Structure formats: structure tokens, C-alpha cells
Amino acid sequence: MKKANYKSEMTKRNFFAFLKNSEQFSDDSIRAYEKALLYWEDFAKTDDFSSFDDKQAITFRDWLKGKKRKGSENTISLSYCYDILRHLRKFFEWLSQQPKSKINATHIVALNLSRKENQIATRVRKVDTPTFEEVLKVLENIEGKTEVEKRDRALIAFTLLTGARISAIASLRMKSFDKRRLILEQDPISGVKTKFSKQITTALFPLPNGKPLAFFLEWFDYLEMERGFTSNQPLFPATKLEQGKENINYYSSGVVEPVFWSGASSARKIFEKRFIEADVPYFHPHTFRHLIVKEFIRARLTEEEKKAISQNLGHEDVGTTFGSYGYGKISTDRQVDIVKGIRLGHPETESIIGDMSDASIKKLANVLKKALAEPEK
């Protein structure tokens, strides 16, 4: 790693400020750019950013593709390389537009994989998700005797009910939820950390089992009526830590206090802990969004219903929900069923297209023969 210099550090700081203030990027997204720049600095050694050119970009790209995964002999994936290069392109494009910049913008295109590598890196991959039954098993395994247990159970249930991003859920206030209408208002003005600071109105999804809703409403009522939480206090408050013996360590008291988590990582750890305790494979909270779409896609939705679900998840484009989330491609069996179920042409063929037995083929032949024999009108 090259020795940090003041000019480079100020350049990075200004870039991150641009991402946060002008581009409205989240802290997690900015950290991804920070990581990409660390790769560049590891490669560049003593070079500063002003020395960038196309030759250096090509050398870096090849160096990156040969980089080993941490603790492994395998190289990092093409999809990971793609993201690192994408982040660096944005950085150098921004840098090239700064006053007195020496960066030649035409050289930035060299920070690209080949066309074939890009296709491999960006292809839609199947996302593994939990089943409803697995999530219910996790919920039912949490006894709910302590405040922390009640909160954890409600947190997982609420993620399933809304499909909201975990960063948004961790920053929700009591007033974010309308109990009468069963609606969640994800309002950035109120401090909710939505992607790109979007205002999102989310109706709770109608799940086939009522337990998740019951677990969440029990928690909401508990905070409101028994703990006296006010409208601006957190919907999912942090665990209160008590000081241990001789002031050496801290332990969980099993109760919560009306303060927000410092970040979404605390909420993610709850998912991991509770899944392991229930002997269910751990799934990242974000996979709950995929689970919801997977289940609703089976309902033969109208275009209007698809749009409603898309907006409910905070997407502006239906293609993001039903394409990028991995559901743009259906199974081969489903493909065959759909095609065989399509009805075109002569009405007498409608009852036989789906099942092409010998008798059906003979019947279809007679229908076609009759149709061809009819004189034109």
C-alpha cells in the first residue's frame, strides 16, 4: 500500500462528499467506492491519481483479474472485478472534470472488461431465498419472553411483511407505521434511510399465514402501550447493555432502550443469530425481497398488480422487480406449460393443443383439412 499523501486523501474526501450530497448515495454504497480505491492504491503503490492513463488502466485491470480472494487460492470473480472497475470509472470521470485535472477522459474506457467477460459478470444469477415455512420456523423458535426476543421476532416478521431494506427498517420511527391502515411510510425527511433517499409507501403484503403480522402488531402495541414509546422513537430500538463485574465487560439485560442502532449491521446479526438458533440455513435480510416477488409471481399477476408490487418495494421500474431480481426468466417446465396453453387460430383447436396424443393429432388433422377445404368468402 502506498503511503497516504494529503492531496490524495483530500481528493477522495471530496469525491465521497460528491457521492453523498450530489448523487444521494448511501453510506454502504460509498464504502463500495472506498474499497475500489483501496484496490487501486494497492496496485499503484507510490503513484498518485494524476498519473492515470490508459496503459496504467489496462495493467490494473489485468492485475485485478489475477487478484486472489482473501484466504483462498482462487481469484476474485469477474462480477466483483466488474463492480470494482465500474466504481473506479466513476471516480476518474469525476476527477477528469475537476479544475486543473490532468486526467484524459478518453483513457477511462480502458477500465473495462472484455465484452465476453462483461456478459459473464452481469448475467442474472439465481438468488437462493428462504421459504415461508423456514421463516415461520425461525419466528416460532423465538419464545418472546424478553423484550429483546419480542423485538427480534417482530423485526424478522416485519421484514417479511414489507420487503423493506434492512437499512430502512433499522432507521424507522414509531410514526413510520400506520396501524389502522397497515401501511409503512418510508420517509427520508423523518430519517428513514431509503435507497437514493426515495419516499416509499409500503402496504403490508397479505401473507398466507397470519402469525408474522400478529408477532409484529404485538410488538408495536407493547412499545406504544406498555413502554410508552413516542412517535419519534425507534420502531426497533437497540438492546440495553449493562455493565459487568468490575466494569470489565458488558452483557445484554434482555431489555431495549429508546435509541437507534448505529447501523444496519446490528439488525443483520439478529437474522443470523435467530436463523442459526432455529437450525435453519442463514439468509441475508435482502433475500426476503426476492422471496416476496417469487411468491407473488405465481399468482398470475396483471400488469397493474405487478406495478403495485414494484412500487411497494420501492422500485420505479417493474423490470427491476421482475427482471433484475431474478424472475425475468421462468423455469423450462413453466415455459412449456405457458406455450402449450396459448390459444391461437381456429377455435376447434383450443381443447387439443395442450395434449398432443395420437387421437389429438388425428382430430387436429381433420380440423385443418376441413378448414383448408372451405372456399374463400
pLDDT 10s digits, 120-165: 887 766 668 899 999 999 999 999 999 999 999 999 999 999 999 9
C-alpha 71/C-alpha 240 separation (Å) is 36
Task: Point out the least confidently predicted range of 29-33, 211-215, 346-350.
Answer: 346-350
Higher pLDDT, 322 or 326: 322
For all residues of the chain together, what is the average pLDDT?
A: 84
pLDDT the model gives residue 321: 67
Residues β-bridged to residue 203: 183
- Would you place residue 328 in the very low, low, confident or very high pLDDT band (cuts 50, 70, 90)? very low
pLDDT in tens, 75-105: 888 989 999 999 999 999 999 999 989 899 9
Output 138 or 376, whichever has higher pLDDT.
Answer: 138
What average pLDDT score do residues 237-257 get? 74
pLDDT at 1: 45
Stretch 38-59: mean pLDDT: 86
Q: What is the pLDDT of residue 273?
A: 95
- What is the 8-class DSSP label of residue 242? E
Cell of 308: 403495485
- Determine the pLDDT at residue 243: 66
Query: Which percentage of the chain shows pLDDT scores above 70?
Result: 79
Q: Which of 25-34, 88-97, 203-212 is predicted with the least confidence, judged by mean pLDDT? A: 25-34
The pLDDT of residue 362: 66
Note the pLDDT of residue 301: 77
Cα-Cα-Cα-Cα torsion 186, 190, 196, 201, nearest 10 degrees, comes to 20
Average pLDDT on 205-218 reads 93
Residue 336 has pLDDT above 80, yes or no: no
Q: What's the distance, Cα to Cα, between the start and end of the chain in Å?
A: 83
Q: Rounded to whole angstroms, how far apart are CA atoms 130 and 292?
A: 10
Asked if residue 331 has pLDDT above 60, the reply is: no
Which residues, 6 or more positions from 59, have their beta carbon under 8 angstroms from its beta carbon? 43
From 201-210, 338-347, 367-376, the region with the lowest mean pLDDT: 338-347
CA distance 108 to 105: 6
CB 294 within 8 A of CB 158: no
Say which residue, 346 or 33, is predicted with more confidence: 33
Q: Give pLDDT, residue 50.
A: 84
Which pLDDT score, from 0 to 100, does residue 369 have?
A: 63
Q: Are 322 and 310 in contact (CB under 8 A)?
A: yes
Q: Which amino acid is at 164?
A: A
Q: Is pLDDT of 37 > 50? A: yes
Q: State residue 263's pLDDT score.
A: 84
Q: How far is CA 169 from CA 81, 82, 161, in A?
A: 30, 29, 12
